[in-house]
Amino acid sequence: MTIDTLLFDLDDTLLEYEQRSEDVLAASFDSVGIDPFFDIPEYHDRYDEFLQAGLSVNEQRADCFAAIARDEGYDEETGRAVATAFADVRDHSRVRYLPGASETLEAFTGEYTLGIVTNGAPEMQRTKMAALGIRQYVETVVFAGHDTPAKPNPEPFERALSELDSTSERTLHVGNSLETDVPGAKSAGIGTVWVPADRNETPEPTPDFAFETLHPLGEHPWRTP
């Protein structure tokens, strides 16, 4: 069946922070006056555990940092202090498009029905989208973890399809995560595009397409000759 609907992840698929997360976390530990006791990969690995509707991203991060602190032998308040410093340093409006993202959205508008399915607090994600003008390109945004369970649960993808009056057979999801995007979309019966793909990693589950940047999407690789 012809593909006429494209769903996109947001963070590290369409955009990234201008500030390196590693630098923000290092500045946060410096502000509190304590040696670092975890790194960004550990934070990212744990963050989805603390997604909860009704909580802001700062509250979710504070819960995450508190849990990590406890597991590392520190008191939870130390973790919350680091989270407060992190929120003071992080500026959600300082974001930029990833290579090919703006061109892809511009080219596909009008030809495809576009939507976003993103894990993340609505106020944070809206700030990022507003900074780059992304909302003008898409017809719906599902804030997984708030509107629905977080990815990789299939429900946020199914909700996007419902709001766009589309079907899984006519849809592809574009995302960077092998933990949330690819398995979540597949569980909803949606084809998947893994980007930016890491050629040194063997993807599991296997996406339908894998590209190092978004540029190849302009060639509509899902169309059969």
User: Which CATH number goes with the domain that contains 192?
Assistant: 3.40.50.1000
59 shares a domain with 159? no
Q: Crossing angle of helices 21-32/40-47, nearest 10°?
A: 100
153 shares a domain with 77? no
For the chain, what is the domain count? 2
Does residue 224 lie within any of the structural domains? no
Task: List, for the chain, all residue ranges whose pLDDT scores fall below the cut of 50.
Answer: none
Q: Which of 49, 74, 89 is the last residue of a domain?
A: 89
53 shares a domain with 12? no
Q: Give the pLDDT of residue 225.
A: 66
Strands 15-17 and 95-97: antiparallel
Q: Give the pLDDT of residue 141.
A: 98
Q: Which of 50, 74, 89 is the last residue of a domain?
A: 89
- The parent domain of residue 67 ranges over 20-89
127 shares a domain with 193? yes
138 shares a domain with 47? no
Could you tell me how many residues make up the chain? 225
Q: Give the pLDDT of residue 48.
A: 81
- Residues 32 and 176: their CA atoms lie apart, in Å, by 32
- Residues 186 and 58: their CA atoms lie apart, in Å, by 30
Q: What separation, in Å, do the N-terminal and C-terminal C-alpha atoms of the chain show?
A: 13
144 shares a domain with 214? yes
Q: Give the pLDDT of residue 56.
A: 81
Nearest to 125 by CA among 13, 201, 35: 13
Does residue 107 lie within any of the structural domains? yes
Does residue 225 lie within any of the structural domains? no
Q: Give the pLDDT of residue 1.
A: 66
170 shares a domain with 212? yes
CA distances from residue 110 to 4, 106, 138 in whole angstroms, order as listed: 10, 9, 10
Sign of the four-CA dihedral 86, 92, 157, 214:
negative
211 shares a domain with 142? yes
